[in-house]
Chains A and B, each alone.
Chain A
Amino acid sequence: DQQVKQNSPSLSVQEGRISILNCDYTNSMFDYFLWYKKYPAEGPTFLISISSIKDKNEDGRFTVFLNKSAKHLSLHIVPSQPGDSAVYFCAAKGGSEKLVFGKGTKLTVNP
Chain B
Amino acid sequence: DAGVTQSPTHLIKTRGQHVTLRCSPISGHKSVSWYQQVLGQGPQFIFQYYEKEERGRGNFPDRFSARQFPNYSSELNVNALLLGDSALYLCASSLLPSRVYNSPLHFGNGTRLTVT
Contact = CB atoms under 8 A, between A and B. Distances in A.
Nearest to A93: B98
Contact of B42 (A46, A97, A101): A101
Contacts of A44: 43, 90, 107
A84 to B, nearest CB: 18
Contacts of A102: 42
B25 interface: no
B56 A98 contact: yes
Interface residues of A, number: 24
B107 A43 contact: yes
Contacts of A99: 33, 35, 43, 45, 98, 105
Nearest to B45: A98
A34 interface: yes
B78 to A, nearest CB: 18
A65 B55 CA distance: 30
Interface of A: 4, 32, 34, 36, 41-46, 49, 51, 89, 91, 93, 96-104
Ordered nearest first, which 10 A-B pairs have the shortest CB separation?
A: A101-B42, A97-B56, A43-B107, A98-B45, A46-B104, A97-B48, A32-B102, A43-B109, A44-B107, A101-B43
Interface of B: 4, 33, 35, 40-45, 48, 55-56, 58, 90, 92, 97-99, 102, 104-110
